[in-house]
């Protein structure tokens, strides 16, 4: 028996060594080529690639198409697993790779049939656009094929990567639609539930358009709706404890005119707030084209899976984005046709609901799922009134993705030219901030804007009688635009940017509060001259205007309750809070916990309990509604199940006190203890020990979702830059997670610590450390 036991141990050890060796082979075999000459069939001319110490390439080519081939080659060598994830997210095909763990995510997007839409977009592309895409696809597949082993993730998942196709690039852009916009008309569904419980006035109260901190660039103000006269719902059953506030995709950007910058040209800043993991969202690159179409020298971030620069500077203009949160989708009530099951009413007469069979696979087990479609879009939900809801969304437009828009932006030479390109573009709708080397600055919405008539898009509506609808998309002259404001300053931060008729045309798709925008405005008007380092200082600002009100409210409530030692002990750190979201602050965490406890409890009770995720019924504007209620304290609007407003606050305070006790006391109840960076590889949670290899050391970082330095676990600035076009050598850049997706790459996680520390690093790539050449 002893001999058998020894053999078993030896066999087990041998198997472990074999597995380790196989894994190591995948790691080292999937390292990117860094030097030498690589045969690249499909190129028209050779392409030089020089990487700096951080792995940032400078691609020098004779044509933009050849540069696209080279970029595709690099994307595949460094980031193919990420690219694969993007196309699968949009197509509802994650479960083919990950199995049952992603079934819910896939089912949530199948109704949108993005793979079929992507195929249609590719089929309708103009020849030049398709030629560039095909060259990129060829580069991707050549880069994937040149790896000696498949990326290590496929070994762990026991899968093989599928070749890249042209439609997959369009799917990568659709994945950004899903990242930046909801795949359900959530706010309309929330408002329907609120109206069901308390009437339209109650829905207007809980989901307002105005917030106390709005800071639009035109200085406009929106009025608050009147309080509802009556509200008497039943008590809310099963209200859960509040969970962490979800991080909402957002961004900051701003610009100052040349007369306010150290260079004399416009100065532009951008930091796009998204989920942070390894590998990161973006891939940095400099692209130099010396022939076809005239010279091009552009530096910025690219999205692996797509062939162009997303945001950056080309020597003539610099540009960046924030998610616009304009209203790009509507909830359409599907009215059943009288006496005709399976049919519905439209302005053109009754129509049959179209049923489309969608293939759906979990690993290799495949079946079909039926998707129901109307002339407006897929049926995606049933609202609180029992009505079937179809979703009309700009992402469903025949031309929802135009790669030509990005290609044109790369070559724009002025603010006016960039604005014109933005108005013909098709992408997830963004606030474009652009400045040029002559000192001009501009803002507009880039992407398609619905031209509604007969309604404002805030509530679910029927289009059956033809009195409401979309007249296509807004023409360029109707899209709000601001160029060269008198004060020389522009800013956006996912909040409302304009008011009046311009606001009415754009609609409200869930704007953020103006807290970040207001702080950016304060900083921009506090000086008359700016350098890139000054802009970096603003990007790292942790002042929380949002929580100043909550500090005063919490302090007053604590001082009014002297009989509870736990609450009395909280008063000192709350009073001492310095107004910033810093890691060592106990006061900030207490204030944030009180705010979140009050919000989650109020909305769960108002809306009749939360089925699942605790923050399910919250939108950014919810905070303003609760601040108003706590200030006015109308007796008839006390959240159901609470005796009065004091009892409501008591419950929130008790929740905070319990959190403090569970954390180990006030001494350890710091903001940093609640806000680790938590930058993880997507497989690290399920593969023991993988995080040791792939993930950066966890650190608590300053910032919060409501401050300019947006930060939350697994969320934050996916890049930061500040640059003046024509003066890129003076610009600054940060990016978390680095360039490479391979943990044994020589520059894995390069730049990540600079991003964490806010250390100024150059916008342009550094001196070449590795050189290679692609030859036809």
Reading the block at residue 408, the tokens are 């044109």
With residue 3 as reference, give the H or E element that holds it: helix 2-29
Q: Report the alpha-carbon distance of residue 395 to residue 510 in Å, rounded.
A: 17
Q: What's the per-residue H, E or C state across 74-112? A: HHHHHHHHHHHHHHHHHHCCCHHHHHHHHHHHHHHHHCC
Angle, helix 586-606 to helix 622-632, in steps of 10 degrees: 90
Instruction: Indicate left, alpha or beta for 377 from its phi (over 0: left) and psi (-120 to 50: alpha).
Output: left
Q: Report the alpha-carbon distance of residue 86 to residue 174 in Å, rounded.
A: 9
With residue 322 as reference, give the H or E element that holds it: strand 317-323
Reading the block at residue 222, the tokens are 């929106």
Closest CA to 514 of 220, 193, 241, 245: 220
Angle, helix 103-110 to helix 64-91, in steps of 10 degrees: 110
Number of Cβ atoms within 10 Å of the Cβ of 665? 11
Reading the block at residue 17, the tokens are 């060594």
Candidate list 63, 95, 251, 670, residue with the active-site label = 251
Pure H helices in 424-478: none
Pure H helices in 285-395: none
Number of Cβ atoms within 10 Å of the Cβ of 560? 10
Write down the residue that tokens 């070449």 correspond to. Answer: 768
The annotation status of 168 as a binding-site residue, yes or no, is no
Please give the full DSSP string across 255-272, using - where no structure is assigned.
EE-GGGBSSSS-EEEEEE
Peptide bond into 68 cis (omega under 30): no
Reading the block at residue 517, the tokens are 């925008």
- The Cβ-side half-sphere exposure at 538, using a 13 Å CA radius, reads 30
The annotation status of 327 as a binding-site residue, yes or no, is yes
Longest dimension (CA), the chain: 89
Task: Give residues with Cβ within 8 angstroms of 716, minimum separation 6.
Answer: 273, 276, 677, 701, 703, 710, 736
Instruction: Go through the chain and tell me how many residues it has.
Output: 776
Helices (H) and strands (E) in the chain, counts: 23, 27
The verdict on whether 313 is a catalytic residue reads no
Q: Report the alpha-carbon distance of residue 167 to residue 175 in Å, rounded.
A: 12
Task: Give residues with Cβ within 8 angstroms of 655, minimum separation 6.
Answer: 241, 242, 593, 597, 601
Q: Report the alpha-carbon distance of residue 599 to residue 41 in Å, rounded.
A: 59
Backbone angles phi, psi at 319, to 5 degrees: -150, 155
The annotation status of 188 as a binding-site residue, yes or no, is yes
Number of Cβ atoms within 10 Å of the Cβ of 465? 12
- Measured torsion, CA atoms of residues 260, 262, 265, 271, in degrees rounded to the nearest 10: -80
Q: Report the alpha-carbon distance of residue 671 to residue 356 in Å, rounded.
A: 49
Binding residues for Ca(2+), as ranges, are 188, 327, 330
Residues with catalytic annotation?
251
């Amino acid at each position: 028996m002893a001999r058998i036991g020894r053999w078993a141990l030896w066999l087990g050890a041998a198997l472990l060594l074999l597995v380790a060796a196989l894994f190591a082979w995948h790691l080292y075999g999937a390292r990117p080529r860094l030097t030498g000459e690589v045969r690249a069939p499909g190129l028209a001319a050779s392409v030089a690639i020089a990487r700096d110490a951080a792995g940032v390439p400078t691609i020098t080519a004779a044509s933009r198409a050849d540069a696209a081939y080279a970029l595709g080659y690099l994307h595949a060598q460094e980031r193919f697993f990420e690219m694969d994830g993007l196309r699968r997210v949009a197509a509802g095909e994650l479960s083919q790779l990950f199995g049952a763990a992603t079934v819910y995510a896939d089912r949530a997007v199948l109704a949108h049939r993005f793979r079929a839409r992507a195929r249609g977009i590719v089929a309708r592309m103009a020849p030049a656009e398709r030629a560039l895409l095909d060259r990129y696809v060829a580069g991707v597949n050549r880069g994937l094929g040149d790896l000696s082993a498949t990326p290590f993730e496929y070994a762990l998942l026991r899968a093989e990567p599928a070749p890249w196709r042209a439609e997959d690039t369009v799917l990568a852009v659709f994945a950004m639609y899903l990242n930046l916009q909801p795949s359900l008309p959530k706010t309309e569904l929330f408002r329907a539930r609120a109206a069901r419980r308390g009437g339209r006035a109650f829905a207007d109260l809980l989901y307002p358009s105005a917030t106390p901190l709005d800071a639009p660039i035109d200085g406009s103000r929106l009025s608050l709706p009147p309080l509802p006269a009556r509200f008497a719902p039943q008590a809310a059953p099963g209200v859960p404890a509040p969970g962490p506030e979800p991080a909402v995709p957002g961004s900051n950007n701003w610009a100052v005119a040349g007369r306010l910058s150290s260079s004399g040209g416009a100065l532009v800043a951008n930091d796009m707030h998204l989920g942070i993991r390894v590998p990161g969202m973006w891939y940095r690159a400099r692209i130099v084209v010396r022939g076809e179409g005239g010279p091009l020298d552009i530096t910025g971030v690219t999205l692996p899976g797509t062939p162009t620069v997303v945001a950056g500077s080309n020597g003539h203009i610099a540009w960046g984005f924030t998610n616009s949160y304009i209203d790009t989708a509507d909830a359409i009530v599907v009215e059943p046709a009288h006496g005709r099951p399976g049919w519905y009413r439209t302005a053109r007469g009754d129509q049959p609901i179209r049923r489309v069979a969608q293939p759906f696979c979990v690993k290799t087990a495949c079946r079909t799922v039926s998707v129901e479609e109307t002339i407006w879009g897929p049926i995606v939900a049933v609202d609180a009134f029992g009505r079937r809801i179809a979703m009309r969304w700009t992402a469903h437009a025949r031309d929802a993705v135009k790669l030509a828009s990005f290609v044109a932006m790369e070559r724009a030479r002025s603010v006016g030219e960039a604005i014109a390109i933005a108005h013909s573009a098709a992408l997830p709708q963004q606030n474009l901030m652009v400045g040029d080397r002559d000192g001009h600055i501009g803002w507009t919405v880039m992407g398609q804007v619905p031209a509604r008539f007969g309604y404002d898009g805030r509530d679910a509506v029927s289009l059956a009688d033809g009195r409401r609808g979309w007249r296509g998309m807004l023409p360029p002259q109707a899209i709000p635009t601001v160029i060269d404001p008198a004060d020389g300053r522009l800013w956006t931060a996912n909040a409302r940017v304009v008011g009046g008729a311009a606001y009415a045309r754009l609609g409200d798709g869930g704007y953020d509060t103006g807290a970040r925008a207001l702080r950016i405005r304060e900083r921009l008007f506090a000086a008359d001259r700016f350098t890139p380092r000054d802009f970096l200082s603003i990007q790292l600002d942790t002042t929380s205007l949002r929580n100043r009100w909550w500090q005063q409210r919490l302090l007053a409530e604590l001082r009014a309750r002297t009989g509870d030692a736990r609450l009395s002990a909280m008063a000192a750190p709350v009073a001492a809070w310095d107004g910033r979201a810093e890691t060592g602050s106990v006061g900030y965490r207490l204030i944030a916990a009180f705010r979140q406890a009050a919000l989650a409890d109020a909305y769960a009770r108002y809306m009749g309990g939360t089925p699942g995720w605790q923050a399910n019924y919250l939108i950014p504007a919810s905070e303003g509604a609760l601040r108003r209620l706590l200030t006015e304290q109308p007796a008839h609007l006390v959240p159901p199940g609470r005796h009065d407003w004091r009892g409501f606050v008591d419950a929130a305070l008790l929740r905070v006190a319990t959190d403090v006790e569970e954390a180990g006391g006030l001494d350890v109840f710091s903001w940093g203890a609640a806000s680790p960076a938590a930058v993880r590889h997507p497989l690290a949670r399920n593969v023991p020990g993988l995080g040791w290899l792939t993930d950066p050391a966890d650190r608590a970082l300053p910032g919060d979702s409501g401050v300019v330095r947006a930060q939350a676990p697994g969320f934050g600035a996916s890049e930061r830059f500040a640059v003046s076009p024509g003066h890129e050598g003076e610009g600054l850049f940060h990016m978390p997670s680095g360039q490479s997706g391979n943990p044994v790459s020589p520059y894995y996680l390069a730049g990540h610590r600079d991003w964490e520390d806010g250390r100024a690093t150059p916008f342009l790539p550094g001196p070449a450390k590795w050189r290679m050449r692609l030859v036809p």
